[in-house]
Structure 1
């Protein structure tokens, strides 16, 4: 399928959804405080940009910081796990516990013991950290044993095996973990911002959603939700582009997609 088709078909589906949404609101004469139409949401997005724009920037900064912490921390710890089974067996169960504990339950506690920005950042990091760690660990442990034996035969050091064999072979899994972590870091930031908004503090986009709900300003709530969706799509698209650029000349997944 051509690139134009991959862009054109989703655009048609999106247009159909928007037209259907508008038709439902118009035919049933639904009031804006129940379900605003797409035109009103777009108008609210433009008129309230002075409030929503800075909130979007706050959420994106927190998401980006949490993603970077998860990316560097997850890859570094995965390398440590690969080099030391003792460390892996000692710490890996605790990373699983951190992952399976719902962040919506952790966020209120973090807001009690940490400053608001640090607590929101910690939630973004907690949610995004494990996918990077798990995928990188799997990739490093899946390096070709025959190539590893060949490196050993030629007297390569552990650092040379890691840098020249394991990390390149693990790159597809690392990039998969990063793509997952990008969206999850946004989710973690949103959950923490909603918890902060419930406590009467916050300035991010999720706080604006909670605030709009309390005030029954449903058009602004939809506009803020639209911005969050666009932000998540943009994050995924950028990370997918990065993955394509790094893999397109040598990895089967990218080669098959181009073919």
Structure 2
């Protein structure tokens, strides 16, 4: 990519974002929309500054749930994927249950989780983990099975053990797939945390950004709702960007998906 191409890659999204904010502001002015229906960007920014202590505490709670759920998804997803790659019987026995967890809407099972789990924080964590778990498992399992067949035959010729085959061949081959699933799981963990907070919030459990949105809605404090929503969106962008950077750093020197091509 040329220098101008790299500059355009960063400048164009920023320009579009600025234009969107300007259009939002002008629509509010031209149509004389009151702030309790659609606040102007400046009102949202002032609310974000004035309510920052409250919003920051809620941000930390949502971020903590998201990070813990993502860590558990990585640990459980990668561990199960390795087991599935080593045993076809385990794969056939337990993979359908993982699919069932993925296709069942978390908002439908969250009330049951909060009934059966005594700790509300643990309930939030389980809900977020359910959403983030499957992409890591599915992508890592696919990656472990995608090792080059010629190299697998070579390992067999030299009498490599199952551990050597896994460590030296399958895990490196699965790394790009795992990182792709990790980027997806990062956003899904945030979605799961927010949905779980909504369900828990209706029972009076207040802490995270989703509950802040609910509470602001009850009070008709629409600017605070927009401020909390902006923080959730910003958190999602930061999570995705951080995981994309991690993927680039791990793959840039050897994998085609991250290596820079000439102009």
Shared fold (TM-score greater than 0.5)? yes
Q: What is residue 132 of structure 1 aligned with on the other side?
A: 136
Q: What is residue 249 of structure 2 aligned with on the other side?
A: 245
Give runs of ≥4 in structure 1 deviating > 6 Å.
Answer: none
Q: What is residue 100 of structure 1 aligned with on the other side?
A: 103
In 2, Cα distance between equivalents of 1:145 and 1:256: 27
In 2, Cα distance between equivalents of 1:245 and 1:106: 37
Deviations 1:57-88 (A, max 9, x none): 00000000000000111001000000001111
Q: What is residue 22 of structure 2 aligned with on the other side?
A: 19
1:204 and 2:208 equivalent?
yes
How far 1:137 moved relative to its partner?
Answer: 0.4
Superposition pairs of residues 44-59 of structure 1, within 5 angstroms: 44-59=47-62
In 1, Cα distance between equivalents of 2:235 and 2:109: 24
Aligned-residue Cα RMSD (Å) equals 1.0
1:74 pairs with one of 74, 77, 84: 77
Q: What is residue 144 of structure 1 aligned with on the other side?
A: 148
| TM-score (normalizing by structure 2) | 0.97
Q: What is residue 6 of structure 2 aligned with on the other side?
A: 3
In 2, Cα distance between equivalents of 1:202 and 1:34: 24
Does the 8 Å contact 1:44/1:223 carry over to 2? yes
How far 1:91 moved relative to its partner?
Answer: 0.1
Name stretches of at least 5 consecutive residues in structure 1 with no aligned partner: none
Superposition pairs of residues 178-189 of structure 1, within 5 angstroms: 178-189=182-193
1:215 and 2:222 equivalent?
no
Q: What is residue 232 of structure 2 aligned with on the other side?
A: 228
In 2, Cα distance between equivalents of 1:210 and 1:159: 50
In 2, Cα distance between equivalents of 1:95 and 1:138: 14
Does the 8 Å contact 1:82/1:140 carry over to 2? yes
Superposition pairs of residues 188-199 of structure 1, within 5 angstroms: 188-199=192-203
In 2, Cα distance between equivalents of 1:116 and 1:122: 10
How many residues align? The count is 259
How far 1:110 moved relative to its partner?
Answer: 1.0
Name stretches of at least 5 consecutive residues in structure 2 with no aligned partner: none
In 1, Cα distance between equivalents of 2:166 and 2:102: 27
Q: What is residue 166 of structure 1 aligned with on the other side?
A: 170
How far 1:202 moved relative to its partner?
Answer: 2.2
In 2, Cα distance between equivalents of 1:205 and 1:52: 7
1:109 and 2:126 equivalent?
no
How far 1:92 moved relative to its partner?
Answer: 0.3
The 1:19–1:203 alpha-carbon spacing in structure 2 relative to 1, beyond 3 Å, is: same
In 2, Cα distance between equivalents of 1:111 and 1:14: 39
